[in-house]
């Protein structure tokens, strides 16, 4: 089965730009109500996912090196400086639901990209589980 019907399009989900400041990223993450959201570059290509932990470890790293996390540090550091690429692998539109389920075991959502690695949206773990529950009930 094609995953297209399950995709929440980019226009309907929160995401960060990799060149955003940490301050703007934190504000967006907080507004989203989620603990992690996708990160894209200026060409809308998928870069990775920024999580609360990524922000926290960045701040702790500064404290460990006796640096205060002052206003200028929050404004000068970018999202691209704190995320770890490859942590959340994206799926392609032609990914099947079984593969998507495997990815959803490790993450709350699966980012979806097109053949040019352009971010097109996400599929949530909830939607994947609902699909398999419905499929099981109908069997």
Helix axes 22-32, 52-64, angle to 10 degrees: 140
Q: What is the torsional sign of CA 118, 120, 124, 127?
A: negative
What's the pLDDT at 28?
A: 96
Question: Which two tokens mark 42?
Answer: 């200026």
* Structural domains for the chain: 4-138 (3.10.580.10)
List of residues 6+ apart from 19 with CB closer than 8 A: 41, 42, 78, 79, 80
What's the pLDDT at 112?
A: 97
pLDDT averaged over consecutive 10-residue blocks of the chain (139 residues)? Answer: 89 97 92 94 96 85 56 72 82 90 89 96 94 82
What's the pLDDT at 46?
A: 96
What is the pTM assigned to this prediction? Answer: 0.86
What's the pLDDT at 137?
A: 82
């Amino acid at each position: 089965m094609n995953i297209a019907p399950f995709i929440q399009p980019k226009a309907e989900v929160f995401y960060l730009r990799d060149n955003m400041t940490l301050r703007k990223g934190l504000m967006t993450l907080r507004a989203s109500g989620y603990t992690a959201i996708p990160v894209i570059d200026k060409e809308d290509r998928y870069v990775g996912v920024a999580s609360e932990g990524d922000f926290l470890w960045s701040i702790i790293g500064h404290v460990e090196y006796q640096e205060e996390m002052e206003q200028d540090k929050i404004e000068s550091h970018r999202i691209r400086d704190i995320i770890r690429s490859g942590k959340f692998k994206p799926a392609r539109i032609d990914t099947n639901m079984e593969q998507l389920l495997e990815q959803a075991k490790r993450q709350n959502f699966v980012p979806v990209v097109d053949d040019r690695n352009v971010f097109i949206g996400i599929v949530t773990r909830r939607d994947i589980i609902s699909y398999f529950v419905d499929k099981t009930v109908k069997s």
